Structure 1
Amino acid sequence: MLDVCIAVLCGIPGSGKSTFAKTLIRNKKDNIAGTGQEQEKNSESFNWMLVSYDDIIPSDTEKHIIEKEVPNAWKLYRENIQNAVVYLIQRLQSDSEFTEPMEDRSDCCFESFRTFMQRMVGKKNGTVVILIDDNMYYSSMRYKYYQLTRKYNIGFCQVHIECDTDLSLVRNRQRPSGQVPEDIILNMAARFEAPNPEQSSWEKYSIKINTNASPEALENSAIQVLELISKALSDPSMPIMEELDQTSKEVDRQICSENIIHQADIVMRKLIAEYMSQAKGQNTDRNHMKSLSACLSCCKSDILQELKRGMVYLSSDEELLGKLRDIFHEKLGAYGFG
């Protein structure tokens, strides 16, 4: 069976992501992490699928989106690319061969996907690394790919390609084509959310690569990233029944809430009996007793509604009597019976 890992490259435009991706792929056979039979197996069966957003989204389309500020265009294109990745993973995990054609649902260029699938025909064993090359400057963008790995029980890791913003601007100007407006680069740099494994457990397999140095220095960095990918492959994201967990928690909360409301109803009946008994002991006239009874009933109804709506929160049964007595007293005062 094929082992699959999604490796997300993230960094601002001009940081060197595409150059580093090529360095990684070039080093795949010479520097695969592992020892003995594992290293030999991986070196023979490591397959890379480079998902370059710049290559998939045509440059003229990108220019049109930027210049015309087309609403939701970026979101649509990103969803199309992610759907293509989902399709690829499904085919990789399927027992059948890659026979179904991949349909373009936009003007994205998915030729690299089709070529890769053709190359994988008949392969049942080995390792596939889906290398995502995009800015991914918000953690939420990267988290969507993590969710895929959790759903399909495959590896996940992140590589933060970092460099000085001034250097990225220089590199961007030197591009023969596809230059990104500098205000966009500066904006991304200001908003960039770097992977934070200490804060988010899903980012545990993350590494930062600085590309300020010469290209030769990237060779050692590539080895480190290959080791990271190897760790992610050996520890794939585990599917968790989050939806069921949330449903279970909601049921528990509902049961608890219903129990609290039931107990509150009992407590308030006792409070009403106390107020009525006190009024009767003070030889209160019949009309006043009737008004007091109606007021107490309204107070009880109001408090129950507020409990159901979450406007009043009671954390435990022990808190019921004291807090309800205070709330009851406040409401009675509002009705003129304080």
Structure 2
Amino acid sequence: MDTGDGVGAHRPAACLCVLCGLPAAGKSTLARTVCSLAAQHGWSSTVLPYDDLIPEHAFQLKLVEDGDDKQQQTTEWKLHRLAVLQCIEQFLEKRQAPTEPPATGCQINSAVWGRCIQPLLEPKTVDHSKADHSPLLILLDDNFYYPSMRYEVYQLARKCSLGFCQVYLHCAMELCISRNQSRSKPLPTEVILEMTKRLESPNPQKNPWEKQSITLNSTDSLSKWDIQRLMELISSALSNPLSPVEDDAEQKEADRIKCATSVVHQADQACRRLVSEAMKSARENKVDPKHMRSLAAELNESKTRFLHNLRKQFLQELPIAQGEDIDVEHVVKTAVEVFNQDKNKILKSFIADHA
């Protein structure tokens, strides 16, 4: 990659390594180990902890009768994730400490960002003549439970001709919950339970772009062999950066995810209208006010579960062939009818029990 300084120099190799898995699976501990070993290889490395970079309010969801606040919070969370990737891209373009946070739609924690990139500005090689060419390793520490979240990182790596790899830490849910409870600021157990339902581990057979992935069992301490495999994976990714040129398989995957996102978004809007209608009907049928909040919570929980299953089913069972047209409106209409039936059952039960 040309630096643009006119002398034909090249930027040092760089790699984005995605760490994914349940909370308390051991991602942060593994990241510290990798950074220590990276220094021995002469690599400059850092960890980007999403929980610290993204403000806490972006993760919070509120259940209200019409669901509007929930949509706003979810959208903000997604925008903050994109902001992290935009910051990475801008840093890789300039390779210098920013005088101010990169301009993005959502602001990440600038103090944390500054601390994160500082190690990348400090050469790890004893040969100072090679300092400017030290490979860069950026570890992204988050749950990354949906493939689409990881695919966004892959797209950035491909766009910037970076290395890309993934590490999935498999750990029993019960152990993650136990570890989480011993933390100074534990997550609610419900969050881990819900994430367990949603988590889709890397699947190279289904997603060719995930071929540079390994799964490590973190139920017990990782072995030296596990760490060695990971370091070899990273070394391979650094030596084999992605090409910006898209092939048919990658374009097909991008189209499939884009279509699935459109289907789920439109279904979400339709479901919100149905929830609002149900709440209105409950009020007209004089459901006890103290039970209205419970009804709203149950309807929204049903909607969330329905949208998750819709997205998963669409990606798994309705792959988009090259050039194939999908009638999104028909798919949405058919799918939403399933939620409408569930909504009617919930509403009928509440009216019968609490009116």
- Normalising by the smaller structure, the TM-score range is 0.5 to 0.7
The residue number in structure 1 matching 2:111 is: 111
Larger radius of gyration: 1
- Map Cα deviations across residues 76-127 of structure 1 (whole Å, 9 max, x no partner): 21121121111122224xxxx5565434654521334334555527952011
The AA in structure 1 aligned to 2:169 is I
The residue number in structure 2 matching 1:285 is: none
The AA in structure 2 aligned to 1:16 is G
Across the aligned residues of Structure 1 and Structure 2, the Cα RMSD in angstroms comes to 2.8
The residue number in structure 2 matching 1:54 is: 51
Question: Which SS does the other structure have where 1:236 is aligned?
Answer: coil
The AA in structure 2 aligned to 1:76 is L
Residues 212-227 of structure 1 mapped to structure 2, 5 A cutoff: 212-213=219-220, 215=221, 217-227=222-232
Residues 197-212 of structure 1 mapped to structure 2, 5 A cutoff: 197-212=204-219
Question: Which SS does the other structure have where 1:157 is aligned?
Answer: strand
User: In 2, distance between residues paired with 1:71 and 1:238?
Assistant: 32
Residues 85-234 of structure 1 mapped to structure 2, 5 A cutoff: 85-92=88-95, 98=97, 101-103=100-102, 105=104, 106-115=106-115, 117=117, 120=121, 123-177=131-185, 179-213=186-220, 215=221, 217-234=222-239
Q: Is 1:24 aligned with 2:38? A: no
TM-score (norm 2): 0.57
- Map Cα deviations across residues 34-59 of structure 1 (whole Å, 9 max, x no partner): xxxxxxxxx2x311121110121244
User: In 2, distance between residues paired with 1:137 and 1:111?
Assistant: 26
Change beyond 3 A, Cα 1:48–1:142: same
How far apart are residue 219 of structure 1 and its match?
4.1
Could you tell me whether the CA contact under 8 Å between 1:167 and 1:212 is conserved in 2?
yes
Q: Is 1:75 aligned with 2:78? A: yes
Stretches of 4+ aligned residues off by more than 6 angstroms: none
Could you tell me whether the CA contact under 8 Å between 1:23 and 1:219 is conserved in 2?
no
Matched-pair identity in %? 32
How far apart are residue 6 of structure 1 and its match?
0.3
User: In 2, distance between residues paired with 1:84 and 1:66?
Assistant: 28
**Relative CO higher for 1 or 2, CA cutoff 8 Å, sep ≥ 6?**
1
Could you tell me whether the CA contact under 8 Å between 1:149 and 1:155 is conserved in 2?
yes
Change beyond 3 A, Cα 1:66–1:88: farther
Q: Tell which deviates more after alignment, 69-78 or 229-238.
A: 69-78
Could you tell me whether the CA contact under 8 Å between 2:13 and 2:238 is conserved in 1?
yes
Could you tell me whether the CA contact under 8 Å between 2:27 and 2:169 is conserved in 1?
yes
Question: Which SS does the other structure have where 1:156 is aligned?
Answer: strand
Question: Which SS does the other structure have where 1:212 is aligned?
Answer: coil
Change beyond 3 A, Cα 1:153–1:175: same
Question: Which SS does the other structure have where 1:198 is aligned?
Answer: coil
- Map Cα deviations across residues 8-50 of structure 1 (whole Å, 9 max, x no partner): 00001121111111121122244xxxxxxxxxxxx2x311121
What count of residue pairs does the alignment treat as equivalent? Answer: 225
User: In 1, distance between residues paired with 2:99 and 2:247?
Assistant: 32
How far apart are residue 241 of structure 1 and its match?
4.6
Question: Which SS does the other structure have where 2:101 is aligned?
Answer: coil
Q: Tell which deviates more after alignment, 75-84 or 130-139.
A: 75-84
